[in-house]
Structure 1
Amino acid sequence: MTSSAPAPVAWGILVFCLVAAVLRLWWLPGRARSSERLVTYGLLLGTASGLLRERAVQDGLADLGLLSVGFTRQLSTVVMVLTFAPLCLLAISWSERWSMRQGALWRPVWASAYASGLAMVAVGTHARSLGQYIDRTEGWQTPVYFAFFSVWCGATGALMLFTSVRELRAGELRPTHRLTYLMISIVGAWALEEAVSIFVSAMCASTGTGRGFVEFRFQANENNYIYLLACGAVVAAAGVVAESARRLRIDPASRAVRRLAPMWEALVEACPEIPRPARSDTPADPRRRVHRMTVEIRDALLVLGRYAEPTPDGTAGAEAVQIVRALRRKRSGAPPGQYLRLQASAPGRDVLDETRALRRIAAHWHDAQRYPEAIPALDGDSAR
């Protein structure tokens, strides 16, 4: 294929894809999960396919005597089929049933993709000898060529659609996760439609029928890919943005660490009975660090529940005030009393919910340090 998108738009998208791919290779390999590596492979192959579809690249390779224009056009589709291999493995990793077999499937999937590519190059020889686009060429070679593409495109789309629909039906997802799975289901449905319609177009072209549909499908193939690549690159670039934020310490986890630090330091100092790892074992990753801080704060609040007192209604930052008062009672050597569950120690659905709850309390921590000094304790003693 040859892209029909405006050259400035196409090259702007391709440069963006290349930058995102290079940054992913530079920043993510050492600490990336296998799913992140698959996204990087998919982006690199998808970008290579997009480059091979540009007329300037096709003409340039022909002028250098490296590849003919016809071969480069077909090669762009072959590389697109290779792009489906990491995407297929990525979709498999989302399934609980198949994720444990992902390692065993890795080599067969890649080997099948390369074999499909070689077969497409061989089958495309007839169209290249005629100097025609294979999309419009009559003969049995055209449906066979596009059968490989449709199988890979359809299989990947089916896996994406099935997995996303299953998760959406299961429910109990965060809004961002629901939106992500909704987008994946749309892409999966689009891939299935592409697989079917492109194969139908190939059948029509091979028999010389349905010329109108063949031309429509041909124009869509030439025009759509670069924009779909842009959508995929935006998703892949999210990992680069997240890593940039982490390095600049402006990511959510780093901000949470800074917000929780004063409260966390005071609580763990006052509750030495909480088992804690050595200072040298403090994790550098802010996500792991905020996780550990959240758990230790919750443990400390369970201890301070024996020193807690009710807080008057309507107090600004009431939960922070209640914690500070319990903290000072314990520091002063007051005997523990009946356990009073501190609201902040009530667990959320997961550690993210608990971290958000603790951050809301930590926002009032500085003011709460002064507030207890101005009110009497409810047992009649002077406030400490």
Structure 2
Amino acid sequence: MDSVPPVVGISTFVFVAVITAARWFLLDEVTMDRLVNRALGWNLAGLLMAGPAFFLGHADLGHRLYLGAGLIAVAYVYGLARLLDGAPVESAVRRQRRYNAVGASVSGGVLVATVAEGLGLSVAGGLRWDAVIWAGSYLPILAAGVLIVRACIRELRLPGDTVAERLAYSALLAIACWWIVTSCIALVRAAIGVSPERPGTIFAVLAFVNFAVIAVLISFPVVDAVLVRAHLDRAGRACRVLKPLWRDLTAAVPEIVLHDGPVRDGESASRLYRMTVEIWDAILHLKQYRADAPFDGDVGGRALAIAYAAQAKSRGGVPEPVRHIDAAVLVGTRDRSDELRYLLDLAAEWPKARALASAGLRAAAR
């Protein structure tokens, strides 16, 4: 800790603090996200408590404060590794309580011993108990590294992953390998009498770089979450394009609107799915109001026919019997991506078709 140049420590702390705050605000619902957030939070808490102690020249106190918070962070890291390795999600909370209990117990012991030494009391008969605990903390980190390496290798051997997924797993694999190597080195150094809480400048800086790389890796879901909240992701952009068409069709055919609960603003994919289902239902329902209209012509003609049908239904038109028609007939395929492209093309033609239909109906009424 005290071997890290201040500029490296402060910049890394600020960067990770921003990422952690964003994750707590945007990504704290899934079990894995909660474990990541709490591990980061406890690590930052340790740095925040230890910083003033180092600044005031109390290095031993700083190390112990960081150690106390870090032990709980390690408990969350180990729980995360177990989850990545395939442990049941259903029992994750129960498992994590056990890990946290162990981490909190040892952390509490560090706090009590630190206070006792501050009062001038002898602890552990002069044994460097903090060095022993610090060295022991590398054991769960080593175990977590092994579990994550195994999980990453298993995932990388599976076909079908995207390039982004493979890069993420490769980066995580490199981080886990670093944990294994540094843990082994720290344990060997501790066995020969080198204090594990003072790894030297090189290892300290590399540890901070590793911490920053982890923060960068876990910041990608934050970026995705921000895009989703702002409706700037692919699904959100599609929703914005479809909204005028969806609003008019569901107003004309309100009975097809799904009533299975509201979709939250952040769930663009769910919102897009719901909008496309309701648009298709509305189109198929409106077909009976314009049985003779070219619903299977070009996109512009289809949009105009649907607009006329929506106007006819809104004005109290009488439905006509019509042969069954489904989305695949209209689009010419059953591929969902083709259906979405068709609806986006339809939405692009919709303002003009709606205006033409309104003008045509007004002219016919004169």
Compute the TM-score of the two structures, normalised by the length of structure 1.
0.67
- 2:242 aligns with 260
Percent of matched pairs sharing the same residue: 22
Which segment is superposed worse, 294-303 or 153-162? 294-303
Number of residue equivalences? 331
Q: Partners of 2:162 and 2:99 in 1: how far apart?
A: 32
Please tell me the residue identity of whatever aligns with 1:102: A
Equivalent of residue 233 in structure 1, options 206, 215, 220: 215
SS in structure 2 at match of 1:2: coil
- 2:7 aligns with 8
Please tell me the residue identity of whatever aligns with 1:99: V
1:301 is displaced (CA, Å) by: 6.1
C-alpha contact (below 8 Å) 2:31/2:89 kept by paired residues:
no
Q: Partners of 2:208 and 2:153 in 1: how far apart?
A: 27
- 1:110 aligns with 100
Residues 177-222 of structure 1 show CA distances to partners (whole Å, capped at 9, x for unaligned) of 333333222222222222222212322346x9xxxxx9x9634332
Please tell me the residue identity of whatever aligns with 1:159: L
Is 1:154–2:142 an aligned residue pair? Answer: yes
Equivalent of residue 202 in structure 1, options 177, 187, 190: 190
Q: Partners of 2:263 and 2:134 in 1: how far apart?
A: 51
- 1:173 aligns with 161
Which segment is superposed worse, 158-167 or 45-54? 45-54
Q: Partners of 1:115 and 1:373 in 2: how far apart?
A: 71
Q: Partners of 1:326 and 1:182 in 2: how far apart?
A: 52
Please tell me the residue identity of whatever aligns with 2:271: R
Q: Partners of 1:155 and 1:228 in 2: how far apart?
A: 18
Is 1:324–2:310 an aligned residue pair? Answer: no
Q: Partners of 2:265 and 2:218 in 1: how far apart?
A: 21
Please tell me the residue identity of whatever aligns with 1:111: A
C-alpha contact (below 8 Å) 1:302/1:341 kept by paired residues:
no
Matches within 5 A, 1:282-321: 282-287=262-267, 288-300=270-282, 311=297, 320-321=299-300
Matches within 5 A, 1:237-248: 237-238=219-220, 241=223, 244-245=226-227, 248=230
Matches within 5 A, 1:128-167: 144-167=132-155
Please tell me the residue identity of whatever aligns with 1:2: D
Is 1:98–2:88 an aligned residue pair? Answer: yes
Distance 1:88 1:168, change over 3 A: same
Q: Partners of 1:290 and 1:304 in 2: how far apart?
A: 21
Residues 31-68 of structure 1 show CA distances to partners (whole Å, capped at 9, x for unaligned) of 733433322222222223444665x64142x5xxxxx4
Equivalent of residue 180 in structure 2, options 162, 184, 192: 192
Residues 269-315 of structure 1 show CA distances to partners (whole Å, capped at 9, x for unaligned) of 5656635228xx5434241433321332354566689977655xxxx
Matches within 5 A, 1:25-44: 25=24, 27-28=25-26, 32-44=29-41
C-alpha contact (below 8 Å) 1:146/1:199 kept by paired residues:
no
Distance 1:98 1:47, change over 3 A: same
Which segment is superposed worse, 194-203 or 242-251? 242-251
1:329 is displaced (CA, Å) by: 8.0
Equivalent of residue 77 in structure 2, options 84, 87, 92: 87
C-alpha contact (below 8 Å) 2:19/2:215 kept by paired residues:
yes
- 1:135 aligns with none
Please tell me the residue identity of whatever aligns with 1:336: V
Which segment is superposed worse, 361-370 or 151-160? 361-370
C-alpha contact (below 8 Å) 2:303/2:346 kept by paired residues:
no
1:108 is displaced (CA, Å) by: 0.5
Structure 2 gap ranges (5+)? 119-126, 313-318, 357-366
Is 1:365–2:347 an aligned residue pair? Answer: yes
SS in structure 2 at match of 1:4: coil
Q: Partners of 1:87 and 1:105 in 2: how far apart?
A: 12
Is 1:46–2:43 an aligned residue pair? Answer: yes
Q: Partners of 2:29 and 2:187 in 1: how far apart?
A: 36
SS in structure 1 at match of 2:322: coil
Please tell me the residue identity of whatever aligns with 1:255: R
Matches within 5 A, 1:17-28: 17-25=16-24, 27-28=25-26
C-alpha contact (below 8 Å) 1:43/1:236 kept by paired residues:
no
Is 1:182–2:170 an aligned residue pair? Answer: yes
1:153 is displaced (CA, Å) by: 0.8
1:363 is displaced (CA, Å) by: 4.9
1:121 is displaced (CA, Å) by: 7.6
